[in-house]
Amino acid sequence: MRRLLAFLILTGVVVAGAVWLADRPGEVTIHWLGWRVDTTVPVLLAALVLLLVALSVLNRLVRTVFGAPGRWFESRRLGRQRKGYTALADGLAAAASGDTLRAGKLARKADRLLRNPAVTGLLTAQAAQLSGDDDQLRDRYQTMTERKETAFLGHKGLADLALKAGDCDTARVEAGKAFLLQPGAEGLAGMLLDLQVGAGAWAEAEQVLRTARRRDALPAAELARRRALVLLGRAEEALGAGNEAQALDWALDARDADPLFVPAVSLAAGLYRRRGKERKAASLLKACASRPPPIRC
C-alpha cells in the first residue's frame, strides 16, 4: 500500500512538472567549441534524462562485466562451504556410529573444504579418538581451545589425554581451565579435586569446593567428604612443618566437615594425646564410634 501511494505521488509530480514545462516552453542556446545549439527547455531536459539513463545502463554493464570474476569466486566459495558443512554433518554421524574409516575420510574432506580447524575440530578430534592417534587428538583439542564455543571440550580433552599419559600437572591445569568454563560439567569437579589433592594444592581445592557448592556440581555428602579430605591434607602438611597447633585446628575442622571421617578424628585424637589431653582424645574417638553410619542408597 505504501509503495502504491508513493508511486502515485511520484507520477503526479512528474505529470505536473511536464504540464508546467509545456506551458512555459522557453528557448535555450548553447555555444560550445564553435558549435551553436538552439532548442527548447523541455527538449533539453529530455536529452539530459536520456543521457542519465544511458550512463546508468553503461555503469551497470561495466559492473556486470568486471564483477563477473568476483561473483564466480564467491559462488565457488559458497559451493565449497556447502559441501564442507555436508561433510562435517555426515562425519559427525559416522563418528557417532563408530565408523572410524568414514569419519576420518569425511573429517579430512571437511578440513580441506572449510579450511577452519576451529569449526571442524570436534569431528577431527572424534575421528582421531576412534583411530587411537593421541598426537593428532592433542593437536585438535588444542585448536578447539582457541574458539570459545569449543574451548571447554578442548581443555577437558587435553586434561583426559594428560591423565592418560600420566602427566598430572598438565591435567590439573587443563581441568582447571575447563572447570572455569563449565563448573557443573559431570565428573569434572571430582576429577579436578583429585588432581589438586594429589598435588597438595589445598587453597585451589577449597576454591573449587566453594564453586562446586554454589553450582551444585557435587552431592552434599561428597562435598563434605572432599572438604574433610582437603582439610586433613592441610593438617598433615602443617604437622610435617612442625606446627602442631595449626595441624590440630585443621584436623578438627576436617572432623567438623565430616564427623565420620576416621583419619581426621584419629589425627586430632593423636595430637590431643601429645598434649596430654587424654580425655579429649577419648571423647573424640567415642563420638566418632557412637555415630551411626550414613544410609547409602
Cα gap 21→112, rounded to integer Å = 65
Using DSSP, state whether 174 is helix, strand or coil.
Answer: helix
Question: Among 129, 258, 201, 220, which Cα is nearest to 179's?
Answer: 201
Fold match between domain 151-218 and domain 231-290: yes
Cα gap 223→1, rounded to integer Å = 67
Flag the least confident range among 35-44, 191-200, 261-270.
35-44
Reported pTM: 0.58
Cα gap 35→86, rounded to integer Å = 67
Domain 151-218 = CATH 3.10.450: no
Cα gap 33→140, rounded to integer Å = 74
* pLDDT at site 21: 61
Bigger pLDDT: 88 or 234? 234
The mean predicted confidence, pLDDT, of the chain is 78
pLDDT at 245 over 80: yes
Tell me the C-alpha to C-alpha distance, in Å, between residue 17 and each of 20, 48, 141, 290.
5, 15, 70, 106
Phi, psi (5° rounding) for residue 115? 55, 40
At the top level of CATH, which class does the domain 231-290 belong to? mainly alpha
* pLDDT at site 159: 92
Indicate the domain borders of the chain: 80-144, 151-218, 231-290
pLDDT at 35 over 70: yes
Question: Among 277, 261, 260, 259, which Cα is nearest to 269's?
Answer: 277
pLDDT at 204 over 50: yes
* pLDDT at site 24: 62
Cα gap 234→249, rounded to integer Å = 10
Phi, psi (5° rounding) for residue 239? -65, -40
Cα gap 65→208, rounded to integer Å = 63
What percent of the chain is predicted at pLDDT more than 90?
A: 6
